[in-house]
Amino acid sequence: MIRVAVADDQAILRGGLAALLRLEPDLEVVGEAATCAGTLDLVEERRPDVLLLDVQMPAGADGAPADGIGVAEQLQGIDGAPRIIVLTTFGRAGYLRRTMEAGAGGFMVKDTPVERLVDAIRRVHQGLRVVDPELAAQSLAVGPSPLTAKETEVLQAAAVGGTTAAIAGRLFLSEGTVRNHVSAAIGKLGVANRAEAVRTASDNGWI
């Protein structure tokens, strides 16, 4: 039996997917989680072989990763960590690249037919990688993010909203430093303002 865990903050989707997977004779759903913190706890407690992991989930606790890719990064290299298939509503090339760099074994969009997802679980469990070929081509075309880690962090905070002062407070930076990072990101992305920088980075899956 392949022990599978499902992590997604949408309860209906998570429960429906778990129910469909339970119909497979060689799959056992050992747990579900709705937050990044809950996912880490679930992995530690139930030790699944394969983790189906949503990209956009709430942290769920202070200090927890901000999204599913952060969860994958935290699990990478841990003894007994599950093989990971990242599921996302948005097939963004940047997400794919970040997912693979985080050590995931698969990347699929949520409207993938169940039969294909089940096949992917079996293949990833065997140590293979499963990636949508169209997304793989897009990822090569888009290339890696031009943003530094700090510029990425500032744009992620800007995406939540708030003034420069509010962003500075959340990230424990000075307002001047935040402005400098935003300005650098605007220049690298070839856009006119902070809102466009956030949108471009998001559309490419870089934040």
Q: What mean pLDDT comes out for the span 52-74? A: 90
pTM of the entire structure? 0.70
Least confident residue range of 54-58, 62-66, 131-135, 140-144:
140-144
| Strand ranges in 8-101 using DSSP code E only, listed in sequence order | 27-33, 50-54, 83-88
Does position 79 have pLDDT exceeding 90, yes or no?
A: no
Give the separation between CA 198 and CA 160, rounded to whole angstroms.
10
Residues with Cβ within 8 Å of 135's Cβ and at least 6 positions away in sequence, in order, are: 91, 93, 96, 107, 109
Q: For residue 170, how many other CB atoms are within 10 A of its CB? A: 14
User: Residues 1-33: pLDDT tens digits?
Assistant: 999 999 999 999 999 999 999 999 999 999 999
Domains of the chain and CATH, by start: 2-141 (3.40.50.2300), 149-203 (1.10.10.10)
* Percent helix, percent strand, percent coil in the chain, to nearest 5: 50, 15, 35
* pLDDT score of 105 more than 80: yes
In this predicted structure, the answer to whether residue 142 has a pLDDT above a threshold of 70 is: no
Helix, strand, or coil here: 190? coil
Tokens of 98: 């970040």
CB 21 within 8 A of CB 1: no
Res 111 pLDDT > 90: no
% of the chain beyond a pLDDT of 90: 59
